[in-house]
Structure 1
Amino acid sequence: MLTTSELHDIAKKAERIFARYGLPCCLTGGVACQLYGTTRLPNDVDLVVLTTTYQQEELKRMLVKADPQFYLVSSKDPYATYKVLWYRFGTIYSGFARRCKVDLLAPGIMNIPDVPKRYIETIGGLPAMPLMLLLFMKLQARTDHRDSPKDFMHPKQWSDVFDINQLLDIASCRGETIREKTKWMPQSFVDAALSRIREYIANIPESKSKWRAIGYDRVQSMPR
């Protein structure tokens, strides 16, 4: 199990390397959730690099070139054309080294919208995806994991539910509302999220009050 400190160190290294290229980035996934206050321990680093100039494979190679502790391995999928990015701790001993998977994303991938730099939150010295966007991405992850054709992905939806419920409480405590915090997001992205919220409430009715606390009922009944 990796420590929170180790995960943060990886993220900081990657952020500094991309900064040399003038590329802002923000954390998403479990590390971003934890920065906002969720309690589930993440086991990898998910970073959104805010660029439309470079492809994912180019971004991976930037890190590998800049720091030898980042390295690439072939995917287990024999038909895959991409490499998987890992971060190695220390040196290899007897063929084994502790390591961490690093996923690099960019706007457009997984429907991630382009995030204006002014909306990125700095928490503990790390850039975090805006909370409402992070919540919407977790909703999407929950649906994707549940509907995946790969059976081993299905249990991950319950980790997503755990994160979503805690993020809802955190957003409510911060006074955030859907209407106010989604003005910059593409309408199609927000509409898809609202559809997932309806489904989430139908599946988990006890969450209805949490969604109401961040203004879901109001955004449903009024035009944007």
Structure 2
Amino acid sequence: MEAAWAAVCTLWSLGYSAAIFGGLACSLYGIERPPQDADILVLPGYMWYAPDPESLKRALVSMDPVHFYARASKNPGATYRVLYYRRPEPGGFTCKVDILLPGILHLPALAPAQIIWIEGLPVIPFALLLLQKLQAYDDHQRSLERHHFVRWEKDKADIDELLGIQARVREVMDERPWADRGLFSDEFMALSARRVEDYATRYECRAQWRDLGFAV
């Protein structure tokens, strides 16, 4: 959480708001698996122009070079750099920080009122996180690259734990937010409906997803 907090605060100072998604968001909502990195969705703040991920990484490093640094990707032919947060003191640690913008992975441009605050950190809504995790599970299941494919079991464990957080699940059951096109695009919901059907059929959990408002 230290890496995410540092990134969010630095982005605020640059004029951008942000929300956490991915494994760290799952952890903040209450699942047990410790996150391996910090995934940050950068949102328009008072800046009038749209940034790109690489310029944001450079800005974070420039603003706080003690804690942030970037390295070239290990992927052959990649032009992007990988951002890291470090605590340089003895006994410190290093954490990868992924910077994404709305539109990537069907992530929406959240309004301030849509951001959920947990332990002082901004997080994407629970319903959105659940479908994002389902998307990750599906993508990893279908990947031909072993280092991606093997991650599907962790994704499934995350989904099952999220579905076990009764208070949050009850909120989704009451709100049925799936028609909110500010959160879920038509394309994302069409893909999600197919993913829910596949998941619910494979793991015999149709009732859980039906209670959330899906026709399975």
Give the TM-score normalised by structure 1. Answer: 0.85
Asked whether the equivalents of residues 27 and 127 of structure 1 are also in contact (C-alpha less than 8 Å), the reply is yes
Q: Give the % identical residues.
A: 36
Q: For 2:90 and 2:74, how far apart are their aligned partners in 1?
A: 21
**SS of 2:28's equivalent?**
helix
Code of the aligned partner of 1:176: V
* Offset, 1:213: 2.7
Q: For 2:40 and 2:187, how far apart are their aligned partners in 1?
A: 23
Q: For 2:90 and 2:62, how far apart are their aligned partners in 1?
A: 19
Once superposed, what is the RMSD of the aligned Cα atoms? Answer: 2.1
Code of the aligned partner of 1:192: L
The answer for the alignment partner of 2:100 in structure 1 is 105
Q: Which runs of 5+ in 1 are unaligned?
A: 1-7
Q: Which runs of 5+ in 2 are unaligned?
A: none
Asked whether the equivalents of residues 86 and 99 of structure 1 are also in contact (C-alpha less than 8 Å), the reply is yes
Matches within 5 A, 1:1-224: 8-51=1-44, 53-68=50-65, 69-90=67-88, 98-170=93-165, 173-177=169-173, 180-182=176-178, 183=180, 184=182, 185-205=184-204, 207-217=205-215
Detail structure 1 runs of 4+ shifted over 4 Å in the superposition. Answer: none
Q: Quick one: structure 1 residues 177 and 187, their matched pair in 2 at CA, closer, same or farther if it must change by over 3 Å? A: farther
How many residues were matched structurally?
207
* Offset, 1:124: 0.5
* Offset, 1:178: 8.5
Asked whether the equivalents of residues 134 and 159 of structure 2 are also in contact (C-alpha less than 8 Å), the reply is yes
Asked whether the equivalents of residues 178 and 215 of structure 1 are also in contact (C-alpha less than 8 Å), the reply is no
* Offset, 1:92: 8.5
Range with bigger deviation, 147-156 or 79-88: 147-156
Q: For 2:123 and 2:104, how far apart are their aligned partners in 1?
A: 17
